[in-house]
A and B are shown apart, each in its own frame.
Chain A
Amino acid sequence: MGSLWGGLDDVQADAGYDADHPPRMGFFTDTSVCIGCKACEVACKEWNDVPDDGYLLTGMSYDNTQELGASTWRHVAFVEKPAVDLGMPTVGPPRDADQSAASGDAGIRWLMSSDVCKHCTHAGCLDVCPTGALFRTEFGTVVVQPDVCNGCGYCVSACPYGVIDLRKDDGRAFKCTLCYDRLKDGQTPACAQACPTESIQFGELDELRERADRRLAELHERGVDVARLYGRDPEDGVGGDGAFFLLLDEPEVYGLPPDPVVPTRTLGSVWKHVGYAAAAVAGLGVAAFSGRRR
């Protein structure tokens, strides 16, 4: 079954692969250089033959894609925030607005970020999938097998990031495969290939983590104190993400959970309490028949 939470040096071995499996591959998405061109969204749709999910104008922002889902495997978020601190009460440490990547336009600060499935070390979706449709690949990524999925929807409620979803007309679950087919051919995933600014970087996870640490130090040196890595820490609630990010604001500003935890982390407590309750029900049954005759 493998381990349920905490740091994990070799996810593939934990999932039962032999020692000669390929290294764990992933994405490092450096949002500080993202220009919001959506080349990644388009490349992903094209390569993976993902159907359209409606041509809607949200009216809320330039973001008409809205969210990740069964037919959106890359999603570019557009955050518009006043560049000046309005003194609004917020949760978390106070921030210095001047330090961010301010565009200077009309006092608006633009943040863009290409979101994607995190390919978690401890993936809630994979843990709860009752059919085995979701599996860990030899590259350490998490992929759905459409020919096995029966559309139970359990994965949808077990993803702490709100990534995977059922496709309505099809009934089955879909999400980013980290271009499993391209990886097997030694190629770069379509989104990373298409990204003109190298905001999306693909590679061996260990190497990406070092690269991200260097980039963070560089930004901090330049005074961009708001830069922080998200999903980089192998000791976080999902054991670290296979696809992690450099952000310029709090995660929730981008629609990301600030402290995601895989639900299976409390699996022991869940089954223990079910066990107690089942024993209590059996006890009720015995008690109901003891004593008085009618």
Chain B
Amino acid sequence: MARGEAPMVPDVEFESYYGRQIIKTPTWKTPDVPLYLFLGGLAGCSAVLAEGAALSGRPELERVTRLAAAGGAAAGTVALVHDLGRPERFLNMLRVLKPTSPLSVGSFILAPFSALSGAAAASHVTGLLPRLGRLAGVGAGVLGPPLATYTAALLGNTVVPAWHEAHRELPFVFGGSGAQAAGGLAMMLVPLDQAGPARRMALAGAAVEIAAAESIVLRRGLVAEPYQVGTPGRLMRIARNGTAAASAATLLLGRRSRLASAVAGATYVAASVTTRFGIFEAGLASARDPKYTVVPQRERLARQDGSAKMSR
């Protein structure tokens, strides 16, 4: 354990089979999956900004966010397909629609989002079929928020302790982090006089993200430990400090200095990426140590036992 890190929960006694883990470590690969989590958030929230920009007549903001939505979705799809054991069978994802499988539901969000955001961006750049392009953009804008948040269901609906126990907070972490990334990217690339909505989205997203991530640590006890110690703990702290610094810079200088806006925006984007890697790694750490599987289950059994005796 690195300096300055103390486990928040005292060490607990539990039995195990030669200290071996009980559940399997997720087979999802780094960096494919954490990058996909980031790109989905960036693309989804950029599509929302793009529609607002179109409605309010901010052409520079619209151009950047349309390209971010389309590019993020395309790159995210590549990362997702690359993660498969059998990439050539990607289309099997669309064989059935299963509400019990967030990956299935997500595929039915990602596929149309990619097509619509791609069409909107293409039409915007080429000037061809402007009406249809706008219509596609509206569709992408509607699918954007679900795309940015469903990935939390993907992680939450597993037996991985650090993810499952945080399933209430993770959608807000991911949604806020996506808003922060989309706003941040636009702050980097859009002139100050058109970037106002991007700044406000990044600031609000950052606030939501920090509050939700802190609430995991405050409320989830032992299984929140992986978010605080080791490599994932370090990533989470770097991300939080970066986000906070970017927010301070945005509030102080974001409207006045093009340079400060660009630097703050880039910091937002980097912090959003780091958050996804931190959350991903925390899940893996919680799967590898049987403590996080056994102790909470034992406590649950003890509580059930206690309440059964009470009602007797």
Contacts and interface: CB of A to CB of B under 8 A. Distances in A.
A276 B74 CA distance: 26
A90 B101 contact: no
Given A166-B85, A274-B146, A280-B175, A152 B208 contact: no
B145 A281 contact: yes
B63 interface: no
A129 B100 CA distance: 9
Interface string B36-71: 000000001100110110011000000000000000
A124 interface: yes
A162 B24 contact: yes
Contacts of A281: 44-45, 48, 144-145, 148-149, 175, 178-179, 205
B164 A165 contact: no
Nearest to A58: B18
A280 B149 CA distance: 10
Contacts of A48: none
Contact of B160 (A60, A152, A157): A157
Interface stretch (B115-123, B191-199, B229-237): B191-199
A219 interface: no
Given A152-B84, A156-B26, A128 B103 contact: yes
5 contacts: A91-B14, A150-B89, A278-B150, A279-B145, A285-B48
B204 to A, nearest CB: 5
A258 B303 CA distance: 13
A1 B100 contact: yes
A170 B197 contact: no
Interface string B286-300: 010010011101101
B204 A274 contact: no
Contact of A128 (B157, B183, B298): B157
B27 A284 contact: no
Contact of B293 (A1, A250, A257): A257
Contacts of A271: 99, 153
A156 B16 contact: no
Nearest to B159: A160
A43 interface: no
A268 to B, nearest CB: 10
Interface string B168-209: 111110110011000100000000111011101100110010
Given A1-B99, A153-B85, A170-B85, A159 B159 contact: yes
A278 B149 contact: yes
The SS class assigned to the A binding surface is: loop
Nearest to A253: B15
Contacts, number: 269
A276 B98 contact: no
A141 to B, nearest CB: 18
B20 interface: yes
Interface of A: 1, 4, 60-61, 63, 66-67, 69, 77, 79, 88-92, 124, 127-133, 148-154, 156-166, 170-173, 250, 252-261, 263-264, 266-267, 269-271, 273-274, 276-282, 284-289, 292-294
Interface in B74-127: 83-87, 89-90, 92-93, 95-96, 98-104, 107
A63 B168 CA distance: 40
B167 A273 contact: yes
Given A132-B95, A159-B159, A172-B85, A274 B16 contact: no
Closest 4 CB pairs of A and B: A151-B85, A171-B85, A255-B17, A277-B171
The SS class assigned to the B binding surface is: helix
Contacts of B198: 288
B23 interface: yes
A227 B57 CA distance: 73
B21 interface: yes
Contacts of B287: 157
B257 interface: no
* Interface core residue of B27, B154, B295 (most chain A CB under 10 Å): B27
Contacts of B104: 130
A114 to B, nearest CB: 14
B174 to A, nearest CB: 7
Contact of A277 (B26, B174, B293, B301): B174
Contacts of B148: 278, 281
Contacts of B183: 288
A153 B28 contact: yes
A282 B48 contact: yes
Given A128-B102, A281-B145, A294-B255, A153 B26 contact: yes
B175 A132 contact: no
B168 to A, nearest CB: 5
A162 B22 contact: yes
Contacts of A151: 84-86, 89
A278 B178 CA distance: 11
A158 B96 contact: no
Contacts of B141: 285
A63 B167 CA distance: 36
B174 A258 contact: no
Contacts of A129: 98, 101
* Interface core residue of A162, A267, A285 (most chain B CB under 10 Å): A285
Contacts of B30: none
Given A150-B93, A158-B157, 9 more contacts: A91-B14, A130-B93, A148-B95, A156-B26, A171-B86, A258-B301, A282-B48, A285-B145, A288-B198
